[in-house]
Structure 1
């Protein structure tokens, strides 16, 4: 048997690797070996481990969408705590995810000042964001961990998934922002950012949100 360290594995940008029959202990060991400061994203569900290396455009889009969510929350005067790409995991599921970005909104108050998260006692994020294709492994892990709303940006369109009875149902509206057509607005201004630049697009988005509120 040949044994390799995970730091020896190179995944090209935009590609993913699936590993089967990975125990929870092995998953924890891989997380420890790779460390927190890495580009590779991981998801784990019932023995299947997925490793993904994002493209540069992926990183740009996730930052812009995260900024748009912050604008929505600011203009609506809704409090939040942002936990970025934190690793969320529960051994009893067994499942683990690393969203591109995530927010505590309904449960923001209990997360103030948190430095470590234990999903056995802490709630999962209220909103998670993923850019590009979400595999069945990732979706199943999000469902298992009970993330209330998942936004997927794929093929220049925002898809909103709302958790209902343990399964995601695609929705035309966000349960967090029910009075604002965020699916259309975010898709529109994200496309604009590649033409007029990020700052101009975000200013336009803020103006659009203000108009929607008024």
Structure 2
């Protein structure tokens, strides 16, 4: 088993503090399940398992949470204005038993409530974080939104069940929500005031 420890990766803002990251290779699935059971609280370390690779990240900071919540508010505003039924599923643990497991930042079912979400939202704080795309692809989740370097990346599933990043295709538009202006939403995520951003986004759709 090999170990990578990176204790001083910087977050977007100084008040968040450093991100602490430990990556273990060659870890059996049973060990992942044991560790996950030890940290049920939402402020516990984030644990991700992908095909023998186990990543442990320190709890997310306020900047991470702010990005996530703003994206979710804007997405929900769009769905509400367009009259699209949706169900927020939060960040509960997703598992493809024996192969992959982890918690998304947020997730949604579109149209009807389902056991697995249709859309997952992830905020990526560090460039070398373990990709969760294989987890979502293995579970057949149709779409993943990554907020990375203040840009919104839309990944549309191409190969359900694939335990690799290649199961998804990077797209300039949402497959689930083709009417959504992705660049417009991203521009409102970057606005400094969350409340103003949501109101401005609603006005842009009304006009």
C-alpha distance in 2 between matches for 1:95 and 1:60: 27
C-alpha distance in 1 between matches for 2:205 and 2:57: 33
Aligned ranges for residues 86-101 of structure 1 at < 5 Å?
86-92=92-98, 94-101=99-106
Gaps of 5+ in 1: 1-8, 112-121
The alpha carbon displacement at 1:106 in A equals: 4.0
Q: Alignment length, in residue pairs?
A: 184
The alignment status of 1:29 with 2:25, answered yes or no, reads no
Q: In structure 2, what is the equivalent of residue 160 of structure 1? A: 154
Q: In structure 1, what is the equivalent of residue 172 of structure 2? A: 172
The alignment status of 1:209 with 2:205, answered yes or no, reads yes
C-alpha distance in 2 between matches for 1:147 and 1:15: 28
The alpha carbon displacement at 1:107 in A equals: 4.0
Q: In structure 1, what is the equivalent of residue 122 of structure 2? A: 130
More displaced 10-residue stretch of structure 1: 60-69 or 138-147: 138-147
Higher helix proportion (structure 1 or 2)? 1
Higher strand proportion (structure 1 or 2)? 2
**Secondary structure in structure 2 of the residue aligned to 1:15:** strand
Per-residue CA deviations over 1:29-81 (Å, capped at 9, x if unaligned) read 11111123324222111111112232321111001101111111111111111
8 Å CA contact 1:50, 1:137 repeated in 2? no
**Secondary structure in structure 2 of the residue aligned to 1:104:** strand
Gaps of 5+ in 2: 1-6, 10-16, 161-166
Q: CA RMSD in A?
A: 2.1
TM-score (ref. length: structure 1): 0.78
The alpha carbon displacement at 1:187 in A equals: 1.4
**Secondary structure in structure 1 of the residue aligned to 2:132:** helix
The alpha carbon displacement at 1:191 in A equals: 1.4
Aligned ranges for residues 1-214 of structure 1 at < 5 Å?
13-53=18-58, 54-92=60-98, 94-108=99-113, 111=114, 122=115, 124-132=116-124, 133=126, 135-166=129-160, 167-181=167-181, 183-192=182-191, 194=192, 197-211=193-207
TM-score (ref. length: structure 2): 0.81
C-alpha distance in 2 between matches for 1:125 and 1:34: 23
